[in-house]
Amino acid sequence: MAAVRDLGWATGRARHQSSPDTTQEGKGGRIRAIRVEASHPPGGAAMVSPKALLATVESTLLGPGGPTPRQRVELKHALRDALPVFRSFLSYNTPKPSDRTRVMSKEVRLQDVSPSLDDLDVQIALKLSDELNLNEIDCVSLLVHAHQEWDLFGREPLEIFRLAAGLWYTERRALITSLYTLLRAVVLDQGLEADIVSDIQCYLEDLFKSGLRQRLISLMKELSRAEAATSSGQHQAEQYVMDSRGALVKRNAVILRERLTVGHCLAISVLVVRPNSKDVKDMFFGLKESIAEVTDDKETQKLQIVFSLLFGIVISFISDALSTAPDKTSILCNDTSFRREFQELMMSSGNDQKVEEFIGAIRLTWTVHLMLTSEENSAAETASITSCLELVCSRNAFQILLDKILRTAAYQNDDDDMVYMYTAYMHKLVTCFLSNPIARDKVKEMKEKAMSTMHPYLTGGPNSLAIADSEKEQISQTSSHPFISLLELVSKIYEKEPEHLAGNEVIWTFVNFAGEDHTNFQTLVAFLRMMSSLASNEEGALKVFQLLQRKAFRSVSWTRLFDCLSMYEQKFKQSLQTSAAVLPEFQEGDAKAMVAYLRVLQKVMQKGNPLERSKWFPDIEPLFKLLGYENVPPFLKGALRNTITTFVENTPILKDTIWSCLERYDLPVVVGPPPIGNQSQQLQMQVYDMRYELNEVEARAERYPSTISFLNLLNALVKRETDTSDRGLSLLTLYDVKEMDIENIERTPQQISSKPVASPEQEIPVLELLKDFMSGRTAFSSIMGILLQGVNAVINDRASQVHGPLLEKAVLLSLEIILLVFDKDLFLADFWRPLCQPLDVILSQDRNMIVALLEYVRYDFLPQIQQCSIKILSTLSSRMVELVPLLLESGSADSLIEDYAACLEVRSEETQALDNIDDSGVLILQLLIDNISRPAPNLTHLLLKFDVDSSIERTVLQPKYHYSCLRVILDVLETMNFPDVNASLHEFGFQLVFELCLDPLTGNAVSDLLASKKYQFFSKHLESFAVLPLPKRHTNHSLRVSSLQQRAWLLKLLAYEMHAGDVGSSIHKDVCLRVLSQLFARETTDVGSAGSALTDSGLHMIDYMKTRRIDKNKVLALLDIVQFRAPDAVHDYSQSISNSSLDILVGSILQNPATVDKGGVYYFSERGDRLIDLASFGEKLCQMCNVGPQSVSLVHEGNIVELKNSIQQLLRWGWRYNRKLEEQAAQLHLLVAWSQLVEVSISRRMMFLENRSQILFEVLDATLEASASPDCSIKMSAILTQVAITCMAKLREERFLSPGNIDSDSVTCLDIVSMSQLSSAACQSILLKLIVAILRRESSELLRRRQYALLLNYFQYCQSMLDPDIPEPLLRFLLQEEQDGDVEVVLQKIDNEHEELDKANFFILKKEARELLDVIVKDAKHASEIGRTVSIFVLDTLISIDRDQFFLSHLQSRGLLQSCLSDIRNSSFLFPHFRRSYVYLHILGLKCRTDKVLQHFCE
C-alpha cells in the first residue's frame, strides 16, 4: 500500500481564495537573516525530524526488493533517535508567559542564532501559539522552518500563518504515519525478513508498555475537541491551513484525517500488545462519544473512526479469548471485576438509538468472548451468556453489523489493509459463535421460528417489477429476521475474503444445517445468496457444486432449478394451447428463488476449475425456455441471460448450442408490421417483442435488466464468433442497416488501418458511434452527461456512497471511449465533413466540457482515470493552439496547475513498482516535453508556472513560491528517492530540464534557476550519482538502462551550461569553475569548501586547484562507466528455428518496418527505440502458422509440439533483442553526451584550469585506449576518436599560447622555441594506441577518416617549432638579442629531443608498417573521394618522415602510384568533379613527394 499522503488527503479542500482577513496591512517574510536548518518539529525533541523519519521508514519497509543492510542500519538509528518523540507522541510544549514576553521583546535565540524579528513576525508567531496551543519560542522556530520551505517574501500575513500551520500539521502527519507504517510491518505480511519484524515488534512493545496506547486514546479525544472547535469556528479560530501544494485545506478535515490514522494505529496496536481492562473500557467510552458525533451516514471519515474503535474492541476480545501463546496469556478473561463491570454495561440500555445499534455489535462480541472463556458447568456464566445472547438476537445484532458496518460505503472505502483485518476478525467472530453449543441451539431456534412465521409466497403482476406497499412492509419485517440476517452476515464476510473458507468445517457444517427444510422463499433466497458468496474461489465453487449436485438437501439442488424452469415452460405451453386467455401469473417467490439459484450457478461457473466446469452442466437448454414469455418478470429474464453469458465466456464448446437455442426461444428484437389490411385492426394489435418490453415494461419501472442482459449476451457471442457469414448478418437488424449502407461503409475501415479488416457487421456499430461523437449527438451527450458531473462530485460519491465504485468504473469507461474516438476522428473527418467534425472541435463549442475532462487528473482513487485525463490533455494540446487562453479565461488554470503537480508528487512518493503499463508521472513529463516547442504560451509554460500573461523569456521562476510541476520535478531530482520505482521519473525529469534549457524562450530562466545557490543543480548531481556504479544487467536491466539515460541527459545539461553559460555572471562562472573542478581535478574533500573563496575573476578557484592533491579525473571515471562490456551477442533469429518454411514467415514479419498500429510488429518506446512488440509478434506467428499458404507445409513438415517450441524460442529471441537494443542505445547516448561535455569544456573553458597539457593527454590517452577496445562498437569508436581529435587540436593550440605565469609583453623568441610539449613517452603512447585503433578488426570508412585526421594532427604536433628553412645565422641573431646565455646549448637540446621523438615515431610505424599500409592503401584506392584524399595525406606524411625509403618501397611494391596515375589518365577532365579533382591534385602531390625523396637518396 502507498504511504499516507500529505495534507491533500484531507477532504473539504478549498482552492486558494481571498478572505476578509487578507486585507491586513503589511507583507510577510521579515525574517531575512535566518539561515537555520530546523531539523525537528516545533515543540518536539531535537532528536529526529518526522519527515526524515518517515522517509527512512518508508524506504526501508515499503521499498521494492526488501531493505538493504544500509537501510536497516539507518532505520535502527532513526528509531533509536525517535524514541523520545514516540513516547511523548504529539505532546508539545505549551505557551508560557515568560516565552511570550521574550517573543514580544524580539529577543529570541534559536540554535545559537538570533533571528531578526519585526512586529509582523511577532504577531504571526503569537497567533500560531494561540491557535495551535504551542509554545511561543517554538512558533518562531516554526516560522523559520516555513521560511526555508516556502519563499515568504511578499506574502500576506494570513497566508504566512496558513503555510506555517500547514507545515506543523504536515510534521504531525509524518510522525503518525511513521507509527502506522511500523505497526503494519509487524501485523501484516509484507514479505519482510523475520529478524527485522522481530526488532520492530520489540521496539513497539516497549513503547506500548511505556503508555503509548493510553496516549493514543487520549489523543483521539483531544483531536475530537479540536475538530469540533474548528468546525464551529469558536473563538474566531482560523478554519483553513495551506498544504504543501499551497492550496487551502479545511483545518477540521486535516484534524479528522489525523483522528482516523490514530484510530487505525489504535486498532492495529491491540495485535502487537494486548490491551488491559482500562484500555478496553477507555476505548469503549471513546467509541460511544465518537458514535454520538456522527450525524449523517455520509460522514465517511467519522464512521471510519467509529469502525477503528469498534474493531479495536472486537479484536481485543477475540484475540484475548483465543490466546494460546505462552508469552501472550489472556488478560481480560482473568480480570473478574472487569468481566462483571462490562457485563453490566452490555446489559444496560441507553437512550441514544444510534449508539445502541453499534453497541449491539460489541454485545455480540462480548457474548462470544464469554462463550470462549467461561468455565464449564458454571450456572452463573451460562446465565450471563444466555441473557446476553437473548439481547443480541432480539435486537438482531447480525443485521446491525450488516446495515451499519459491512454494507456501508465508509467500510468498503476504508484502507484496504484495515478492511482485510476487520473482515478476518469478523470471520473469527462468526466461526467462534457458530461452533459454540449454546449458540447453535439459539440458531436452531431462530431457524424454526423463521420457518413457521414467514409466508411461503408473495405474488406480483406478470409485467411488474415493483412490489405492493403492504408486501414491502412484510418483506422488510421478515428480511430483518435474525436467522436471515445471520445468513446474510456469513455471506457478506466470505464474499469479501473467500480464502477464510479453507479448512473451515464450522461454516460448511452450518451450511448443511441451514440448507434443510425451507418452507418459504425468503430463507431459501438468503441461503442461496450465502451459497453464491461461498463459491467465490475455486475450492468454494467445487464444494457448492457438489453439495447441490449430490442433493445433500431435500429441497435445494440443481435438479430442482432445472425442473422448475421446465415445469413453468410446460405450464405456459398448456395455457396457450387450451385457451387464448392471459398467461398465468408467475409466482414472485419462485422468481426470486430462481434468480438466487442462477446467481449460484453463475458464480460456480465463473470460479470453478476450467478443466472441470465444462462438464458440470452438459444440458443448458432449460435456461432458454422462459425467455419468450411475456409474463416472466424482466429481472428473471436478465438473470437467465446473464447465466447464459457466463457459459459463453467459460464454456466455448457450447457456443453453437447457445446460438441455436437463442434463435429458437428468445423474444424477437423487433417484429415487422402485419400485412396491409384494415387500419383499425393494425392499431389494435400489440406484438410483445423486445422493443415493446423495453418501452412498456422496463421503462415504467426505470430498470432494464432484460435489455441489458440481452446486449451483454450478444456482445459475448459476437466477440467469440469467427464465422459471421450468417449469424453476423442477422445481427444487422439490431442497427436497422440496409445493404446499401454496407456497400457505402465497407471501404472506409480499410483506409483507417492496415490491419486485417473486420467484417462489416462488426465495423458498422463502431463507425456509427464515431459519427455520433463527431456530430455531438446522443451517445456523445450521454457520455458527457456522466463526465460533466465533475471530478469533485465523483470523488464525494466514491468516498461516501456504496455505488461509488460503479460510478468510478463508468467514468473510466467514458474517458476511454473519448480516447478511442480521438484515435480515429481526424482521419474520418476528411470523409464525413461537413456533417462530422473532429472531436476537439465539438468539445471546443463548450469550454466547460474541456475543463471537466481535464480536471479528472485530480481523481486519485484510480490512477487509470488520471492517465486518461492526461492523455486527453496531450491530444488537445497538439490540436488546439488556443488551449491555454481557453483555460485562463475559464478560471481553471490555477487549479489545473496544482492538480498536475499533485498528481506528479503523489506518483513520486510511490514505494512499490507500478503494475499497469502506463505511468502517470511519465505521461505528465512527456506531455511537458512535447509541448516545449509549440507556440507560446503553451501548456508547458502554463504547468511550470511561467508568466503566460506577459513575456515568457523574462519570467523569474520561483518554485519555492508557487506550487507547480517545476517544484515537484526539482524536488524529485534533488532527492533521487526510490531509484528502482522512480527511474523513469528521474530520466524524463533530466530530459525535461535539458529541453527547457535548450529552448530559446525558457532557457535563460531555467538555467539561471538551476545555477542559483538555492539549487546548485549542476555541480550537485555531478558529484552525487553521476559516477556511481551501474546496476547489474542480470538483476535489474530496466534500472541499468534508465540509469544510463539519466546520466546522458545530465551530461548534456552540463555541456549546455559549459557552452552557453554566461561567464560574465558570477553565478554561472562559479558553476563553470565547480564543474571543471569536478570533471578534471577531482579532490577527496568536498568541492563546496572552496565555494566561499570564489570571486568574479576566478583567481581564487585557480589557486585553489593548483594546490590540492589530484585524484583520478572524474571525466575519466565517467568514461569507465560508459565503457562496459556489451551484452552477449544476439544471434540471428534463424538460429532459433529449424523449419525453413517458418524461417521465411518470420523473415516476412520482421522485414516489414511498420509499427503495431499499422499492421507490423514494431513499436517505438518512450525513448524512441524501435523495439519488437512481443505480443503482436507472437500473435502474428500464430496467425501465419494457422492461416495462409505456408500453413499446410508447416503442419506436414513438423508436429505441433515442435512448432510451439519454435515460437517460444522466437519470442525469447525477441526479448533478448529488445534488451540488447535498449542497452546499446542508452550506452551510445551516454557516450555522445560525455563527448559533448568533454569537447565543449576543452574548447571553451580550459583557460580556467592549470596543467592543461596533462589533462588533455589523460583524456586523449583514455579515449584512444577505449576506441581500440574490442568491446567498443564502431559508432562508439568514431565518437571517441572525435574527442581525441579535439584534444590533439587543443594540445597543438597550447604550444602557441603564452606561458601561464609570463606576461605576454615579455615573451621572447627563446620562450616560444623552447615551449614545452608532452614527453617523448607520452607521445609514443599516443601513437601506439592510435595505430592499434586503426588496425582494429571492426572498422568503417568514417572511423578511419577520423583516425587518419588524428594521425595527421599528431605528426603536426610532433614537429619542431623551428622551421628548417629559416637560415641558421638569422635564427642565432634573433635569439642572441633576447638571451644572454648560451644559445647553442638550448638549440642543441631542442634538436636532440625532436630527433629522438622522430626516431621513436618511425620505429613504432615501422613495426606495424605492413598492416598499417594495407589499410591506408586500400582506402587510397577504393574509398570515397574524401577518404582517398585523407589517405593520400597520410601516405604523404609517412613518406616525409621516411628515413630509409622503407614506406616508399612498400608503396612501390603495392603499385599504388601507378594505379592512381592510371586513374588520372583514364579520367575525363572536360567537366571534372571538384572533389575528384582535389583527389587527383593530391595524388600528383604525392608523386612529387616520392620523386623528391628518390632524388635525395640517389644523390
Distance CA 1185, CA 1203 (A): 9
Phi-psi region of 66 (alpha: psi -120 to 50; beta: other; left: phi over 0): left
Residue linked to cell 537555520: 36
1340 vs 1251, more confident: 1340
Number of H helices, E strands in the chain: 71, 4
Strand partners of residue 406: none
Question: Would you say the C-alpha torsion 687, 693, 695, 700 has a positive or negative sign?
Answer: positive
> Which of 1012, 928, 1002 lies closest to 974, judged by CA?
1012
1353 vs 1101, more confident: 1353
pLDDT for position 32: 32
Give one DSSP letter per residue of 948-1012, joined into a string.
TTS-STT----TTTS-SHHHHHHHHHHH---TTTSHHHHHHHHHHHHHHHHSTTTHHHHHHHHHS
* Residue 1068 and residue 1062 in contact, taking contact as beta carbons nearer than 8 Å: yes
203 burial level (CB within 10 Å; 0-12, 13-18, 19+): middle
Rounded to an integer, the average pLDDT of 967-983 is 88
pLDDT for position 377: 59
Rounded to an integer, the average pLDDT of 378-403 is 87
pLDDT for position 329: 64
**Residue-averaged pLDDT of the chain:** 78
The type of residue at 583 is L
Q: Which tens digits make up the pLDDT trace of 1407-1443?
A: 887 888 888 888 877 888 788 888 878 887 777 776 6
Q: Which tens digits make up the pLDDT trace of 51-87?
A: 889 988 988 888 777 788 888 899 999 999 999 999 9
pLDDT for position 855: 93
Strand partners of residue 250: 240
Which residues does 744 contact at the CB level (< 8 Å), separation at least 6?
none
* 1046 — pLDDT class (breaks 50, 70, 90): very high
Q: Which of 458-472, 855-869, 944-958, 1067-1081 has the least mean pLDDT?
A: 458-472
Q: Is the pLDDT of residue 723 over 60?
A: no
pLDDT for position 1135: 58
1177 vs 939, more confident: 939
Q: Which tens digits make up the pLDDT trace of 1132-1145?
A: 665 556 555 666 77
* 1084 — pLDDT class (breaks 50, 70, 90): very low
pLDDT for position 1236: 93
Q: Which of 172-181, 596-605, 648-657, 1385-1394 has the least mean pLDDT?
A: 1385-1394
Distance CA 786, CA 805 (A): 14
Strand partners of residue 587: 459
pLDDT for position 1105: 39
* 1282 — pLDDT class (breaks 50, 70, 90): very high
> Which of 1209, 797, 1204, 1242 lies closest to 1058, judged by CA?
1242
The type of residue at 1376 is Q
Rounded to an integer, the average pLDDT of 1371-1376 is 61
The three-state secondary structure class of 248 is: strand
pLDDT for position 232: 65
Q: Is the pLDDT of residue 466 over 50?
A: no
Distance CA 612, CA 749 (A): 41
306 vs 467, more confident: 306
* Residue 941 and residue 1006 in contact, taking contact as beta carbons nearer than 8 Å: no
Q: Which tens digits make up the pLDDT trace of 761-819?
A: 455 567 788 888 888 888 889 899 999 999 999 998 888 888 888 899 999 999 999 99
Which residues does 345 contact at the CB level (< 8 Å), separation at least 6?
284
Rounded to an integer, the average pLDDT of 459-476 is 38
Rounded to an integer, the average pLDDT of 376-393 is 83
Most confident among 556-565, 1098-1107, 1308-1317 (mean pLDDT): 556-565
pLDDT for position 552: 67
Strand partners of residue 240: 250
> Which of 696, 699, 837, 821 lies closest to 767, judged by CA?
821
Q: Which tens digits make up the pLDDT trace of 671-718?
A: 544 444 444 444 444 566 777 778 788 888 888 888 888 888 888 877
The three-state secondary structure class of 113 is: strand
Q: Is the pLDDT of residue 727 over 50?
A: no
Q: Is the pLDDT of residue 1123 over 70?
A: yes
Rounded to an integer, the average pLDDT of 114-142 is 85
pLDDT for position 473: 41
Q: Is the pLDDT of residue 537 over 50?
A: yes
The three-state secondary structure class of 1217 is: helix
* Residue 969 and residue 992 in contact, taking contact as beta carbons nearer than 8 Å: yes
Record the cell numbers describing residue 733, joined without a space: 437488424
The three-state secondary structure class of 619 is: coil
Q: Which of 458-467, 618-627, 1241-1250 has the least mean pLDDT?
A: 458-467
Rounded to an integer, the average pLDDT of 897-926 is 85
Distance CA 1263, CA 1239 (A): 12
Q: Is the pLDDT of residue 1095 over 80?
A: no
pLDDT for position 1130: 53
Percentage of the chain exceeding pLDDT 90: 20
What is the biggest distance separating any 2 CA atoms in the chain, rounded to whole angstroms? 142
Q: Which tens digits make up the pLDDT trace of 1441-1468?
A: 766 666 666 666 665 555 655 554 554 4
Q: Which tens digits make up the pLDDT trace of 278-330?
A: 999 999 999 999 998 888 878 888 999 999 999 999 999 998 888 755 556 67
Distance CA 565, CA 621 (A): 10
Q: Which tens digits make up the pLDDT trace of 1200-1233?
A: 677 777 778 888 888 888 888 888 899 999 999 9
pLDDT for position 868: 94
Record the cell numbers describing residue 386, joined without a space: 444466555
Question: Would you say the C-alpha torsion 413, 418, 420, 425 has a positive or negative sign?
Answer: negative
> Which of 487, 420, 445 lies closest to 264, judged by CA?
420
Record the cell numbers describing residue 772, joined without a space: 455520433
Cα distances from 1066 to residues 37, 142, 955, 1091, 1336, in angstroms, run: 26, 33, 20, 12, 47
Q: Is the pLDDT of residue 421 over 80?
A: yes
Distance CA 964, CA 958 (A): 10
The type of residue at 182 is L
Rounded to an integer, the average pLDDT of 638-650 is 86
pLDDT for position 884: 92
Phi-psi region of 1181 (alpha: psi -120 to 50; beta: other; left: phi over 0): alpha
Strand partners of residue 179: none
Distance CA 399, CA 392 (A): 10
Record the cell numbers describing residue 1203, joined without a space: 512448432
* Residue 534 and residue 497 in contact, taking contact as beta carbons nearer than 8 Å: no
pLDDT for position 1452: 63
Q: Is the pLDDT of residue 572 over 90?
A: no
* 23 — pLDDT class (breaks 50, 70, 90): very low
103 burial level (CB within 10 Å; 0-12, 13-18, 19+): buried
pLDDT for position 1493: 47
Q: Which tens digits make up the pLDDT trace of 1465-1484?
A: 554 443 344 344 445 445 54
Q: Which tens digits make up the pLDDT trace of 238-260?
A: 888 888 777 788 888 899 999 99
Distance CA 762, CA 745 (A): 12
891 CB neighbour count, 10 Å cutoff = 10
